[in-house]
Amino acid sequence: MTRRRLLVPVAAALIGIPLFVYAVDNVGWPNIVSGINRVGWGFIPILLLSGLRFVLRAAAWRLCIPPHARFSLGQAFAAFLAGDAVGNVTPLGLIASEPTKVFLIRHRLATREAASSLAVDFVVYSTSAVTMIAIGLVVLLANFPLSLGWREMVVTALAAIGVGLIVAWRVVGGTWKPERGERPPWRARLATLRESVLTFSAANPARLWRVFALDLLFQAVAVIEVYLVLRWLLPEPPTVAQAIVFSALDRAIIIVFKFIPLRLGVDESAAGGMAVFLGWPAATGVVLALIKKVRSIFWIGVGLILTAAHPSQAGPETDPPGTGRARPI
């Protein structure tokens, strides 16, 4: 790691650690311990639900892989879990996780095909994540009393999501004209990304929708997970709308603060603030964030073990001669 890249995790830690300390100190350890005790053995089904979410993501990725590849759901699950673990413990995110997945399946699928499948999976999953955020904003707008200023902010955010999707598709779609010369590297990668999606969609239109359905199911299981934790933490059952809002907040935090390992401090502060907004003690949100962090650390540990235990094997002969290894997108 270069000195410049080393500054990223250091700066992220400097941001996250004080936020974490403040969030915990603000609600007090006794309240946090009390909340964790209320969850108790409920942590086991939470752990199982989070594992199911990884299975759904692995199944979605597997559908993005060419049908000729002999790639089981178990192998996809192991590779996805390992790649996600590497991406979570470093500030590099996708830059680290996607090459790890390609590395782990290189003996079963040509590198270029693996990179293309990950590109399709990334686009479809990102669409489902943005959809989840938009649903959360709509639910917030429809089910909670908001001041005029907050309502305007929510409507603006929804409009920004719509405009952002259109702009993103236009940029990915290639507004670059040939007479302008060679594309900048980042434009070339976006064009390659779009080509992968369009090629996959043209050849497998039904599969693309199945991938999107699995990703939406992944988001739905996340809502169930949040609902259960809140059910154990609160004296009265939460509403589904409240769980959706919390889950949408989580998606937004992951997207914006991916560069902070485990989003230390950010999750706790945001969840504590949301709990207060909904009329609950801040400790409710902080405990929710801590429980999700602990289960993430568990699966990260499993993923790192799978990465270390993976046998070293040569890439498949299906890689075109002379092309070398294609960089994942």
Q: Show the DSSP H helices in 174-280 as ranges.
A: 185-203, 205-233, 240-256, 266-277
What's the mean pLDDT in 212-237? 94
Q: What pLDDT shows up at residue 86?
A: 78
What's the mean pLDDT in 126-137? 93
Torsion of CA 148, 154, 160, 163, to 10 degrees: -90
Percent of the chain with pLDDT over 90: 32
Q: What pLDDT shows up at residue 232?
A: 93
CA–CA dist 310, 79 (Å, integer): 9
47-51, 171-175, 263-267: the lowest-pLDDT one: 171-175
Could you tell me which residues come within 8 angstroms of residue 24 by beta carbon, excluding any fewer than 6 positions away?
32, 268, 286
CA–CA dist 122, 194 (Å, integer): 11
Q: Say if residues 319 and 112 touch (Cβ distance below 8 Å).
A: yes
Residue 304 binned pLDDT confidence (cut-offs 50, 70, 90): confident
Phi-psi region of 265 (alpha: psi -120 to 50; beta: other; left: phi over 0): left
10-24, 31-45, 183-197, 235-249: the lowest-pLDDT one: 183-197
Phi, psi dihedral angles at 193 (to 5 degrees): -60, -50
Residue 181 binned pLDDT confidence (cut-offs 50, 70, 90): low
- Report pLDDT digits (tens) over 57-86: 999 998 888 777 777 888 889 888 888 887
Tell me: pLDDT of 315 over 50: no
Q: Say if residues 134 and 161 touch (Cβ distance below 8 Å).
A: yes
Tell me: pLDDT of 263 over 50: yes
